[in-house]
Amino acid sequence: MFPLPLIFLASYTLVNAGSANKGDNCTQADNRLQAGTYQFFDDCNSVTYCAANGTCLLKGCRKDAFPFGYQQGADVPPLCPSGQFCPDEMDACQALLPVGSACQLNRDDECAPPPNAADLADTTSRGLNVNGAVCLNNVCMWANATLNNDCTVENTPYTAYGATGEFIDIVSRGNCVVGLYCDAATKKCLQEKEFGAACTADKECSSWNCLASGTCGVDTSLPKHVGTWVYVVVAIGIFGGIFGTLCGLFLLHRRQRDQEREKRMQYWREQNAFHQNLLQMRQTARASILSLPNNGSARSTMYGRDGMSPDEAPILQHAAPKGSGLRHYLGDDSSEYDDGVMMEPTQSVRRDEGRF
C-alpha cells in the first residue's frame, strides 16, 4: 500500500518543481504555470523559491495547512495572518490586493473582500469566490454582478485524463453573485437552472452538473438516499440468509442424527440378540453340567471365582480375544457404515469389551 503514493509523489516532484537546492542558481524567467495543470513552476525545489538575485532560498510562507514537498515533521514556513496572503512563489506574505490589482490564477484569496463580503461570499463548496472577492483574468474584482447585468468571464482549459484518454476540461468563472452565472456569449449574468432544464455547461445548473444529455442533473456531491424498501429488502436478505442456513443445517443434521440413531438401534438389537444367545448357551451348558453326576466340583471351578454372577464370569475370560471378532461382525452386518463417519459403534464395542 505504501510504495505507490511514494512513487507518485516522487514523479510529481520531478514534474512540478525544479530540482535546484537552497543556494543554487536559478532564474525567475523560468517561473511559469505548467501547461494543462496551471500549477506554478520554478527552477527551485519544493522547499525553496527563486529569489530576485538568482538564488534558491527557503520559502518564507505557505499557502496550505499541509504544504507539498516537506518531510514528515519537517519545519514548514508559517501560514499568513488574516489580511495577508502567500503568493504562488511562497517567498513572503503580502497584504491583500485591492480591486483592480493584478492577482494570480485561481487565487481569489489574494484579493481584498468587499464591504458586504458576508452577502456576496460563496457558502457552497464550489469555489465561486473567496469572501466575495474573485480573481478573473488576473484582475481582482468583487463577485457583485447582478441579474442581466454585464459580467466578466474567464475560461481556463485544463488537460484532464479519463477512461478514454486525454481531454480538455474548460472551467468557466465569472463575477456574478452566487445563484447567477456569467453567460460567455452575452457576458450577462443569468439565473442558474433547475433540475431538468437544458444546459451547455456545469456552471449553468444550480446542481453544478450538466449531464451529457444536455439537461441539468442532480448534484453529484449530495449523498445518495435509498428508499425504505431497500433497507427492508436488505434486512430480509440478511436475516433470511442466516435463518435459511440455520434451518438447512438443522434439517440436514436431523437426517444424519436419525440415521445414527437407527444404526445404534440396530447395533443394540444385534447385541441384545447375541446376549440372549449367550445366555441361552450358558443355560444349556449349566443344565448339561448340572445333569452330570459330580456337578458340585465343576460348578466351583467354573463359576465360583471372584464372587461374580454366573452370567458375567465366562464372558470376561474370553472377551479380549473375541473383541476384534465382534467388530468384524458389526462391520459385516451393516454394509452402509462408513469407517470415517461411524466411529461411535466401534468405540461402544470397545467399551462393551471392558464391561463384559
Ligand X SMILES: *[C@@H]1O[C@H](CO)[C@@H](O)[C@H](O)[C@H]1NC(C)=O
10 Å CB burial of residue 85 (0-12, 13-18, 19+) is buried
Backbone angles phi, psi at 22, to 5 degrees: -55, 130
As measured in angstroms, the least distance from the Cβ of 44 to ligand X is 12
Of 100 and 214, CB closest to ligand X: 100
| 29 near ligand X, rule: CB under 6 A | no
As measured in angstroms, the least distance from the Cβ of 15 to ligand X is 23
* Number of residues forming the site for ligand X (CB under 6 A): 9
| 144 near ligand X, rule: CB under 6 A | yes
| 148 near ligand X, rule: CB under 6 A | no
- Separation CA 18–CA 26 (nearest Å): 9
Nearest to 124 by CA among 186, 192, 67: 192
Please check whether residue 26 is in contact with residue 55, taking contact to mean a CB–CB distance below 8 angstroms.
Answer: yes
Of 55 and 137, CB closest to ligand X: 55
Of 40 and 142, CB closest to ligand X: 142
Nearest to 263 by CA among 352, 326, 354, 335: 335
Task: Extract the C-alpha cell encoding 27.
Answer: 532564474
- Separation CA 145–CA 189 (nearest Å): 7
Distances (CA, A) of 327 to 216, 262, 272, 277: 82, 18, 15, 17
* Shortest-Cβ-distance residue relative to ligand X: 141
As measured in angstroms, the least distance from the Cβ of 103 to ligand X is 12
Of 135 and 210, CB closest to ligand X: 135
Task: Extract the C-alpha cell encoding 221.
Answer: 456531491
- Separation CA 50–CA 154 (nearest Å): 29
Q: Which of residues 49-68 bind ligand X (CB under 6 A)?
A: 51, 53, 55, 57
Q: Identify the DSSP state of 154.
A: E
- Separation CA 243–CA 246 (nearest Å): 5
Q: Taking each helix axis from N to C terminus, what angle separates 344-355 and 313-333, rounded to the nearest 10 degrees?
A: 170
Of 26 and 199, CB closest to ligand X: 26
User: Contacting ligand X (CB under 6 A), which of 49, 142, 181, 356?
Assistant: 142
| 27 near ligand X, rule: CB under 6 A | no
Part of the chain binding ligand X (CB under 6 A), chosen from 138-146, 244-252, 279-287, 315-323: 138-146
Of 144 and 207, CB closest to ligand X: 144
As measured in angstroms, the least distance from the Cβ of 150 to ligand X is 11
As measured in angstroms, the least distance from the Cβ of 141 to ligand X is 3
* Residues in contact with ligand X, shown as a per-residue x/- string from 226 to 245 under the rule CB under 6 A: --------------------
* Residues in contact with ligand X, shown as a per-residue x/- string from 88 to 117 under the rule CB under 6 A: -----------x------------------
Residue 308 contacts by C-beta under 8 Å, 6 or more apart in sequence?
316
User: Contacting ligand X (CB under 6 A), which of 17, 97, 141, 205?
Assistant: 141
- Separation CA 1–CA 207 (nearest Å): 35
* Residues in contact with ligand X, shown as a per-residue x/- string from 163 to 202 under the rule CB under 6 A: ----------------------------------------
- The binding site for ligand X (CB under 6 A) comprises 25, 51, 53, 55, 57, 99, 141-142, 144
